[in-house]
Homo-oligomer: A and B are copies of this chain.
Amino acid sequence: MILLAQSNGQISRRLAADLADVESRFAAELHSDLSCVNELAGHIERYRGKMLRPTLVLVSAMAVDLDADGVREAHRVLATVTEMVHMATLVHDDILDEAEMRRRGATVNHLNGNETAVMLGDYLISHAYHLCSSLSDSQISRMVAAATNTVCEGELLQLANRRNHQLDEPTYFEIIRRKTASLCGACCRIAATISRADESQAAALDAYGQKLGIAFQIVDDVLDLVGDEGTVGKTLGLDLEKTKLTLPVIHYLREETPEHRAALARLLDRLADASVGPDRRAELTSQVRGLLRGSASLDYARGWAGRLVDEAKTQVAEHLPESPARALLIEMADAVVSRRY
């Protein structure tokens, strides 16, 4: 967890212990009597990242219930469930279309091909709900499933807008609100529900999680365009590759001079052409990056992320009592915009 390096004291140690517990529960839930299944489940370790969603659950739990026992059994279960759901979406994001496969070569899917990746993702989703329904209160499962319904809608809306160079800002925000923010908001709200926090606290945490989630996605999109691949630790330029328009590109196509806009549109059209080979494609991507680096569009996107993070911090500052957990929520929000990976 990236945040622990910056944070100190007792709360960080408790969080680290709780996240280790989430990892154990995760592995235990996925264990099968079939060795071929366990072997595949082992592969998903490579998807594990910042554990943002379980962290949101656990720190929200601490922030609404200041007792040492703020994190309850149901929170640990929920934290594991949200990480499992998130991992499933990452595995399914690796599924490729025919054109992309041809373009990127057969080695890109490390999980023995598309079909195995689909089924492994399904296995994760199924176990997430299985674990969640071990809680006697079916309302928790209902809230998690409502969030995953929304996540799927966001993904479908994004797919419906592939190759749409007219994608506008409201639709972009609608996509990431559903795809990313809804689950982050649900992590915080359900944690509050489990603790029987009052509605003003639950609503503030929900808003905090959603705003942080949108900011997180915007920063992700900026890094995909101009991050350093070694630092970020994953393949970049995939949004262009998948012809998904993100905030800096949308801004550029709206605000730049007609010549610049035409230049970017031409590059995007070329990238959307499945017959373009990998070398030419890398060159085109590099040209897109060059255009964006010299423009105001990256700062525009970063400005959005900054404002959303400020709003997220205001929510918790105004509605939650002062505590080390609240300070950590604020620190987490700041980390979303300052991160370079």
Interface of A with B (CB < 8 Å)?
32, 34, 36-37, 40, 88, 92, 95-98, 101-102, 106, 112-116, 118-123, 125-127, 129-130, 132-139, 141-142, 145-146, 148-149, 151-153, 155-157, 159-160
Contacts and interface: CB of A to CB of B under 8 A. Distances in A.
> So how many copies of this chain end up in the complex?
2
A101 to B, nearest CB: 5
Find the residue from A122, A137, A142 having the highest chain B CB count within 10 A.
A122
Given A133-B145, A145-B130, A153-B123, A159 B32 contact: no
A113 B96 CA distance: 9
A210 B199 CA distance: 46
A37 B150 CA distance: 11
A37 B96 CA distance: 20
Smallest CB-CB A-B distances: 3 pairs = A130-B145, A133-B141, A123-B152
A98 B111 CA distance: 13
Contacts of A95: 95, 114-115, 118
Given A113-B97, A113-B98, A156-B34, A118 B92 contact: yes
A114 B138 contact: no
A97 B114 contact: yes
A130 B114 CA distance: 26
B125 A125 contact: yes
A125 B123 contact: no
B119 A96 contact: no
Given A125-B125, A138-B135, A142-B133, A153 B98 contact: no
Contacts of A101: 98, 101
Contacts of A149: 123, 126-127, 130
Nearest to A101: B98
A132 B130 CA distance: 12
A108 to B, nearest CB: 10
Contacts of A114: 95-98, 114
A156 B122 CA distance: 10
A43 B237 CA distance: 32
A98 B92 contact: no
A139 B160 CA distance: 37
Contacts of A34: 153, 156-157
A122 B40 contact: no
Contacts of A156: 34, 36-37, 40, 116, 119-120, 123
Contacts of A119: 92, 152, 155-156, 159
A189 to B, nearest CB: 16
B130 A146 contact: yes
Contacts of A148: 122, 126, 129-130
